[in-house]
Chains A and B, each alone.
Chain A
Amino acid sequence: MTKLRHLVWMLIAAVVLVLSTSQSFAQKRPDADEPGLVADESYELDPEWQKQVVYFRTNEPPGTIIVSTAERHLYLVQGNGRALRYGIGVGREGFQWQGLLNITRKAEWPDWVPPPEMIARQPYLPRFMAGGPGNPLGARAMYLGTTVYRIHGTNRPDTIGTAVSSGCFRLVNNDVADLYDRVPVGTKVIVRQKPQL
């Protein structure tokens, strides 16, 4: 009888311990990925991050994607000095990169397999997560070259305009679906960084 009571108490203690550690993880990284959280699609973005047509002068042909990580904007060049601009979330300090890549694959409601580098940094992440509303990759993903980077949706619309990702570019689900329908595989993606001192 005492043994059973002992066991019950130990169980309760274990549950409390697990809960408190996961809590402390959540508190430590309030901006990290939150697998399982269902996106609040009614979240209203600040005007700065809302999809809009803007003046944009470039020599790149219409259909090219230009990402400005410093501005947190993704431009889809439309020609005639115009571009469709989306607000994005970008890589946090140390996870920023620049270069020229192509979209090599497109997927709707993609599954999430966090790359080993990410698991090493954030061991609490799942090894695999099936596509769906609670998936941090959101509604669509466009894979960039052979890298681990993607342009994808999000279940955290509140992170648009911030630098929190592991190097991916995230858009709100409505925007990423809109972009997805406008760009084919093979689309040129130019990523620009702020200059180094």
Chain B
Amino acid sequence: MRTFRGGLTIGLAVAVLVAAAAITYERYDTRTLKRTIRRGEVLCGVNRGLPGFSIPDDKGNWTGFDVDFCRAVAAAIFDDPSKAKFVPLDASERFKELQNRKVDILSRNSTWSMSRETNYDLYFPAVAFYDGQGFMLPRARNIDSALDLNGSKVCVQAGTTTALNLADYFRANNMNYTEMKFGKLDEVVKAYESGQCDTLTADASQLYALRLNLPKPTDHTILADIISKEPLAPVVRLRDDDWMMIVKWTLYAMINAEELGITSQNIDEALKSKKPEVMRLVGTEGSYGEDLGLTKDWAVRIIKHVGNYGEVYDRNVGSESKLKIPRGMNQLWNAGGIQYAPPIR
């Protein structure tokens, strides 16, 4: 009797464990890499149209910083950047659609925050673009610090964290301001254009895009001060480690390549280099690519087809683009910024 009851308890416990394991298995996807390879393409969730980050032309060709990052992942896996397929997603649906396995990766100007990881069971592998709230104002005002904005009338979009950050910043620095709130971003811009406010505040990447559409863009300046943290990062599903590692190290390979001076132009020369750090990155030493589940030349594929971090930045949002966003925080850690990749070794 006693042993029967004992057996029953053990049996029940096993059943509960098996059920729990099954539920966990269902809940967490661990096969993105395998599915992606079988499918032969990476499904990338992107913004429907954000100049510099992801935008399709009239022929359906996508360009942008986020788009190029996804192409880099495809290049690392397939040696072919065209094996990235872009799925435009709205802000409200993006995390759900990633959860529902409609896309393999979200490369869609999404701010990494704690609740987004915990509430949606997602993972942000690494920061691709450090954004943050800034100020735009007429160049003629000759102000080059946000601390000189005391007493300003500030145009801001109502009901956003932008308005809250603005309040915090002025309070923390003992400055006064008059808030000019508008429901839509276009209204904020119109108010600024018509001179209703002294300055306009929004995320810096947004300010550069808005400035392009002003009648005389060069008459307006964007301050170097950044008053909030908006780290934009790619997103994958939680507990899908093989896939997460590929996404993370794709970005780090691009950043390390820039630090080592390896570009899409000199990649062939880099393959002949005798410098240990260069050799590890291009795969002429070690088996770092294989350890990732890819090939030795995984990083070479990324750099050859898409470029290093700086090349992708300059082409899409930096000096060679229309936006011309200074590197700022996105400059390498040893050149004035905070972009820092762990070493490949």
Contacts and interface: CB of A to CB of B under 8 A. Distances in A.
Nearest to A85: B326
Interface residues of B, number: 28
A197 B269 contact: yes
Given A57-B337, A71-B335, A197 B145 contact: no
Contact of A194 (B223, B261, B319, B331): B261
Nearest to B134: A55
A54 B275 CA distance: 33
B338 A195 contact: no
Nearest to A44: B218
Contact of B328 (A47, A55, A66, A192): A55
B155 interface: no
23 contacts: A48-B319, A52-B221, A52-B224, A53-B145, A53-B223, A53-B224, A55-B224, A55-B328, A55-B329, A55-B336, A55-B337, A57-B329, A57-B338, A58-B336, A66-B336, A68-B335, A75-B336, A82-B145, A83-B336, A195-B260, A196-B275, A197-B269, A197-B270
Contact of A197 (B223, B224, B273, B338): B273
Given A55-B224, A55-B326, A196 B336 contact: no
A102 B118 CA distance: 52
Given A48-B324, A56-B331, A197-B261, 6 more contacts: A47-B324, A55-B224, A55-B328, A57-B333, A197-B266, A197-B275
Interface string A51-78: 0111111100000001010010001000
Q: How large is the interface on A (under 10, 10 to 19, 20 to 34, 35 or more residues)?
A: 20 to 34
Given A48-B324, A53-B223, A71-B335, A195 B261 contact: yes
A166 to B, nearest CB: 23
Interface string B296-333: 00000000000000000000000100001010110101
Counting chain B CB atoms within 10 Å of each CB, which of A57, A82, A197 scores highest?
A: A197
Interface of B: 144-145, 218, 221, 223-224, 226, 259-262, 266, 269-270, 273, 275, 278, 319, 324, 326, 328-329, 331, 333, 335-338
B336 A197 contact: no
Contacts of B336: 54-58, 66, 75, 83
Contacts of B324: 47-48
B172 to A, nearest CB: 15
A53 B336 CA distance: 13
Contacts of B273: 197
Contacts of B333: 57
Contacts of B270: 197
B235 to A, nearest CB: 25
Contacts of B328: 54-55
B331 to A, nearest CB: 8
Contacts of B275: 196-197
Contacts of A85: 326
Contacts of B338: 57
A56 B327 CA distance: 9
Contacts of B262: 197
Contacts of A82: 145, 224
Contacts of B266: 197
